[in-house]
Amino acid sequence: MSEIKKVAVIGGGTMGNGIVHVFALNGYDVKLVETKQEFADRALNTIDKNLSRMVSKEKISEGEKAAAIDRIQPHLNIPGAVMESDLIVEAVPENFELKKKIFTEVDEHAPEHAILASNTSSISITKLAAVTKRPGKFIGMHFFNPVPVMKLVEVINGLETEKSVTDAIMETSKKLGKVPVPANDFPGFVSNRVLMPMINEAIFCVHEGVAEPVHVDEVMKLGMAHPMGPLRLADFIGLDVCLDILNVLYDGFKDPKYRPCPLLVKMVDAGKLGDKTGEGFFTY
Ligand SMILES: NC(=O)c1ccc[n+]([C@@H]2O[C@H](COP(=O)([O-])OP(=O)(O)OC[C@H]3O[C@@H](n4cnc5c(N)ncnc54)[C@H](O)[C@@H]3O)[C@@H](O)[C@H]2O)c1
């Protein structure tokens, strides 16, 4: 497998701008694809701001920041962005039909040797790989929010992912200063399969009157050394996102242990989604 040097990132939202940030800072040429100029500008502004924060904390120099910014090239269409890329990382919203459309186009225009990676939290890597003509060169590259800070990259092998592709992505993740951890493609991978049932159980504790949200979180922080309680974390992730992932686990395994707590469903119906709406288990 030839060395990965040129990268394209599709989507410059919460995750995409962080992914562009870490690639550019670590010497990769990065093409950032967005749907509108204003969205590309917003992503570039966020990256600029986050790099400046690293300069003020003396983690990088002004020169390193400038060099990173210079390596980023915004694009408004996929063909031009992926044409010469060795790796394409997709970070558009969590919607199978949208990702399918994007990977079909990426597959058509990316060079034959290019690796296609998705940052999906819950969609099957094997199913996404199957929309392309290169399932062996398809992999999950699951970054965590905020990307410049969080060390983990969950590297998810689809049913047909070639070993050389896994090795290349593990190696590339290390070059980004991350710690890659391999996993196989099953619903929720490792991260959400373990996290979401815990969050769901914390919500059941509130639902059944076992304890108030603040007390559930205190138990997990003080007793289990969690830096953030499960309900505070659920609000941060978004209660709608938690519900969607629990439904993926429930549908994927057909096992009632993953059934979403009725209180979670009710809060999502009420539009209380956590930080992004100002109210969830806590108010912001
Ligand atoms: N937010 C998280 O904490 C988190 C963590 C891990 C993984 N993920 C996964 O990462 C992916 C992205 O999530 P996010 O939170 O960054 O979403 P987001 O909504 O913040 O960003 C998505 C971006 O994609 C852009 N986009 C939409 N359609 C596009 C297209 N056709 N071409 C190019 N860009 C397009 C949007 O303009 C937007 O800027 C999802 O699959 C999500 O499950 C999210």
Spell out the domains of the chain, with CATH numbers in brackets: 6-184 (3.40.50.720), 191-275 (1.10.1040.10)
* Number of Cβ atoms within 10 Å of the Cβ of 189: 21
> Collapsing DSSP states into helix, strand and coil, what is residue 240?
helix
62, pLDDT greater than 80:
yes
Two tokens at 239? Answer: 């209660």
> Has this prediction a pTM greater than 0.85?
yes
* pLDDT for res 39: 98
Q: Which of 9, 10, 15 for a ligand 1 pocket mutation test, highest count of atoms within 8 Å of Cβ?
A: 15
CB-count exposure of residue 207 (10 Å: 0-12, 13-18, 19+): middle
Express each pLDDT in 183-198 by its tens digit. Answer: 999 999 999 999 999 9
Q: Is 37 in the pocket of ligand 1 (CB under 6 A)?
A: no
The CA distance from 235 to 245, in Å, is 14
Two tokens at 210? Answer: 């076992």
Whether 192 sits among the annotated catalytic residues: the reply is yes
Pairing of strands 72-75, 29-33: parallel
Express each pLDDT in 150-178 by its tens digit. Answer: 999 999 999 999 999 999 999 999 999 99
Q: Is 46 in the pocket of ligand 1 (CB under 6 A)?
A: no
* Nearest of 240, 248, 242 to residue 198 by alpha carbon: 242
Contacts for 233-237: CB closer than 8 Å, 24+ residues apart:
233/195, 233/199, 234/199, 234/202, 234/203, 234/274, 234/280, 234/281, 235/274, 235/275, 235/280, 235/281, 235/282, 235/284, 236/274, 236/275, 237/274
Two tokens at 209? Answer: 């009157």
122 C-alpha to ligand 1 centroid (Å): 13
Return all residues near 53 (Cβ < 8 A) that are at least 6 apart.
none
Express each pLDDT in 124-159 by its tens digit. Answer: 999 999 999 999 999 999 999 999 999 999 999 999
* Nearest of 65, 76, 86, 67 to residue 8 by alpha carbon: 86
